[in-house]
Amino acid sequence: MLSRRLMLGAALAAAAAVALPGAGRAQGNSGPIRIATAGPMTGQYAAFGGQMRAGAEQAVADINAKGGVLGRQLVLEVGDDACDPRQAVSVANQLASRGVRFVAGHFCSGSSIPASKVYAEEGVLQISPASTNPKFTDDGGWNTFRTCGRDDQQGQVAGKYIAEHFKGKKVAILHDNSAYGKGLADETKKSLNAAGTTEALYTAYTPGERDYNAVVSRLKGAGVEVIYIGGYHTEAGLILRQAKEQGMNVTLIGGDALVTNEFWQITGAAGEGAMMTFSSDPRKRASAAEVVQRFKAKNIDPEGYVLYTYAAIQIWAQAAEKVKSLDPKKIAEAMKAQGPFQTVLGEISFDKKGDVTVPDYVFYVWKNGAYSEM
């Protein structure tokens, strides 16, 4: 998505792809294998970039400790797209030029979609841990996969829930005009309408601002009691807090981009009772127990997309071992035909588009500064 606050200038773009210490260019059939993660390492969504980096670093460390991939060590590059589509294209070109074979990224759908075109042309396989817009895989090439679900799956769950649990309430659907936010809002609206409920208000807001009181006043004037937001935690948190400050008694519901403790840091007590859709908590899965303990030993909470990024790298590594090759197209074919793959998320298989075959969206609620499954 585009945001004035995220236009970081030429200096950032020049440093957008950074190799971690010890990285060396992979050559021929020997030497290290260069892979990458890319997402918003800076800017207002940097919390999610931090999640991806933590997951990628731990996955690389764990795989290397067991001998690497095809007997070669992995080195990780980190690309910063700040959730800006134009910067994402620049990052993709830089990573490809540096010999990266595989990218676990990007985060924002608005970045993943254009970046995927670069990767397809340059022979780079891409697994996004977080980009949920259907177009990423529907219109994607041979190289596009994701370990998360899709907006049309998530929106169906959200719309049905709102229709069933908030009968007679006035509902507003807001979005930030990004590929992710608008896509999720539209799918939720579609599901809500199909269940027989018509929203009182459907409108966009401008991301990156600090004052949403004009938006809130419009909601208040329409008598809105439930706000569904297709967008990110920063704006959602501000809108909710400012709504409560204006005396509105509202319930806020959002999607998976609210899965960060930063949401509560923005809302404070106003966040009590806010809800969101996300897959069942991967931190509680038996398949993740050992890895979760390693994160906790480092004082890292593997929330949000940490384990989704870790799983993306696991899948790529397992597929490479299956075909005994680093050829991205051979690996992509194996990912679609030779699953399931054993990951921290459990067993994962992909359909012909590159989507996971068993998404499992559930509802979470914020209470006392933390979120948990309902």
Q: pLDDT at position 27, please?
A: 41
Mean pLDDT score, 253-280: 96
Q: pLDDT at position 7, please?
A: 36
* Helix, strand counts (H, E) of the chain: 13, 15
Helix (H, G, I), strand (E, B) or coil at 298: coil
pLDDT band, very low/low/confident/very high, at 28 (cuts 50, 70, 90): low
Per residue, what are the HEC states of 22-59? CCCCCECCECCEEEEEEECCCCCCHHHHHHHHHHHHHH
In sign, the C-alpha dihedral spanning 38, 44, 46, 48 is negative
Q: pLDDT at position 30, please?
A: 75
Q: pLDDT at position 26, please?
A: 42
Q: pLDDT at position 358, please?
A: 84
Q: What is the pTM of this model?
A: 0.87
Task: Enter the tokens of residue 222.
Answer: 């329409």
Q: Tell me the per-residue pLDDT of 340-369, one tens digit each, with 9 for 90 and over.
A: 999 999 999 999 999 999 878 999 999 999
If one counts every other C-beta atom within 10 angstroms of the C-beta of residue 67, the result is: 10
d(CA 253, CA 191): 15
Mean pLDDT score, 142-157: 96
Helix (H) or strand (E) holding 128: strand 125-128
b/e burial code for range 153-165 (CB count within 10 A of at least 16 → b) = bbbbbbbbbbbee
Q: Tell me the per-residue pLDDT of 71-85, one tens digit each, with 9 for 90 and over.
A: 999 999 999 999 999
Contact 216, 239 (CB under 8 A): yes
If one counts every other C-beta atom within 10 angstroms of the C-beta of residue 362, the result is: 14
Contact 277, 158 (CB under 8 A): yes
Mean pLDDT score, 173-184: 96
Query: Mean pLDDT of all residues in the chain?
Result: 92
Helix (H, G, I), strand (E, B) or coil at 197: coil
Report the chain's C-alpha Rg in angstroms.
20
Residues written for the chain: 374
* Per-position DSSP letters for 261-276, written without gaps between them: THHHHHHGGGGTT-EE
Q: Tell me the per-residue pLDDT of 270-288, one tens digit each, with 9 for 90 and over.
A: 999 999 999 999 999 999 9
Mean pLDDT score, 304-329: 98
d(CA 228, CA 151): 14
